[in-house]
Structure 1
Amino acid sequence: MKTEAVIVSAGKGLRFTEGKKKQFFLLADKPVLAHTLNKFEVCPLVHAIHLVVSEEDMDYCLKEIVEKYRYRKILHVVPGGERRQESVKNGIDSLSKDTDIVVIHDGVRPLVTKGMIEESIRSAMEYQAVVVAMPVKDTIKMVNPDKTVLKTLDREFLWQIQTPQTFRAGLIREAFYRATQDGFVGTDDASLVERLGVKVHILPGSYTNIKITTPDDLILAKLFLQMASD
């Protein structure tokens, strides 16, 4: 079966204050985005990569990421949209027509493992829709607008959803088409599939598979990377 990846890296990086977007910050002498792309480049089950970046970053990514690190699997560098959902849709629209499985991953999750990617693909072949996730460790409370606690949620049934999120190609195409038609905006890709009445399966991942959104996350990622290399 043919598998293609959509790597979404069109974020504006508003939580970083040094004038550089989070996906381009150096992590062990290499941009965060390059670490992420490496994992998909070396995964034998991934046949092609579609990289989604903001339009203003397209030339930079082509020269400083794609060409510099000689990625051979990147078929397209696609301009993103105003929201993540629009960016993912643009990536899905660029997929090959004969693609069977689609892996969607955040460009700022550089600590994803080859094993996670491969297991996601195999699981999607069986279950149609699979998301990597981990059980919530902290107590989660629902809060009123005035910042008072409404209730405490049962942690036993709560999972922290990550990426990759992997789907049968026809299913995720239909999910995005329906969402666009209905004007629905979800907080992740799986929420669009859930609207179709399709069960989304959980694949346990890792607490180190963090999304880099703040400078503190970058410090953590450096520590995790160092621990993995020791």
Structure 2
Amino acid sequence: MSNVYKVSAIILAAGKGSRMKTGINKQYLSLGGKPVLAHTIEVFDRAECISEIIVVINKNDNEIFINSVLKPYDFKKITAVAEGGEDRQASVFNGLRLVCPSADIVVVHDGARPLVTTDIIQRSVEAALETGAACVGVPVKDTIKKVDKELNVEYTPDRSELWAIQTPQTFRRRILFDAHEKANRDGFRGTDDSVLAERLGYRVRMVMGSYTNIKITTIEDLAFAETLLKNFLHRGD
């Protein structure tokens, strides 16, 4: 596929990770002997469908990024490093502006999801090629309740229709760029890229992810990821 379509990946690593209370951003914490972010980039660097990687980092993390991620690992596909914005949406747009103009597809992924697989990335790209927009997720396992401000239950949605959204989220480049530009003009802030495409009327295809494709947000997540890395995941995917 990579010989026909150019696929760019934006990896987001600009968050401050304040919930970790570790003194450094979560993307640089050690997981299996290497930084979380290095694990994430490694998967995209290995994925045959990915042509280039743009990493978006916090402006205060330039030194640690260079010394702990860029220099020690021989990543082949990193073409640019962008400065993070005031929120996730702004960070994605900063990265998007550095994407190669000839890119057909753009994949957006959280740097703190190091257990993504090349198979998930590939299927996400294939779905976006077919439909224009796709996001990875998994069916929810728990019953979900909608509550009011006083924490009274208002209703119980049908669990069979609910998915927990992960990344990557993948789009034709023009769709993602237009969605971000329109959101910026309107002053709309979304929690993910999919909602920006949805509000322009695009149908977003759901792609089955994995319950192991976790986002590392807390110390407990990091410990769980260590267990998954050691006992369950075979990284030769």
Using the size of structure 1 for normalisation, the TM-score is 0.97
Is the deviation greater in 73-82 or in 53-62? 53-62
In 1, Cα distance between the equivalents of 2:28 and 2:147? 35
Q: What is the aligned counterpart of 1:207 among 208, 211, 215?
A: 211
- In the alignment, structure 1 segments of 5+ residues that lack a partner are none
Is the deviation greater in 140-149 or in 37-46? 140-149
Q: What is the aligned counterpart of 2:148 among 131, 144, 160?
A: 144
In 1, Cα distance between the equivalents of 2:104 and 2:66? 27
The question of whether the paired residues in 2 share the 8 Å contact of 1:62 and 1:77 is answered with no
Q: What is the aligned counterpart of 1:181 among 179, 185, 202?
A: 185
Letter in 1 for 2:128: A
Per-residue CA deviation, residues 21-49 of structure 1 (Å, 9 max, x unaligned), is 11111000010000000000011110100
Give 1:1-230 correspondences, 5 Å limit.
1-228=5-232
In 2, Cα distance between the equivalents of 1:147 and 1:40? 42
SS in 2 for 1:50: strand
The question of whether the paired residues in 1 share the 8 Å contact of 2:127 and 2:134 is answered with yes
In 2, Cα distance between the equivalents of 1:123 and 1:66? 31
Runs of 4 or more consecutive aligned structure 1 residues displaced over 2 Å after TM superposition: none
Per-residue CA deviation, residues 67-96 of structure 1 (Å, 9 max, x unaligned), is 211212111111001100000010001111
In 2, Cα distance between the equivalents of 1:136 and 1:229? 21
Per-residue CA deviation, residues 117-155 of structure 1 (Å, 9 max, x unaligned), is 111111111111010110011011111112222221111
The question of whether the paired residues in 2 share the 8 Å contact of 1:165 and 1:189 is answered with yes
In 2, Cα distance between the equivalents of 1:65 and 1:143? 43
Using the size of structure 2 for normalisation, the TM-score is 0.95
SS in 2 for 1:131: strand
Q: How far off is 1:229 after superposition?
A: 5.3
Q: How far off is 1:59 after superposition?
A: 2.8
Percentage identity across paired residues of the two chains: 46
The question of whether the paired residues in 2 share the 8 Å contact of 1:51 and 1:77 is answered with yes
The question of whether the paired residues in 2 share the 8 Å contact of 1:13 and 1:213 is answered with yes
Letter in 2 for 1:66: L
Is the deviation greater in 49-58 or in 15-24? 15-24
Is the deviation greater in 140-149 or in 156-165? 140-149
In 1, Cα distance between the equivalents of 2:126 and 2:225? 27
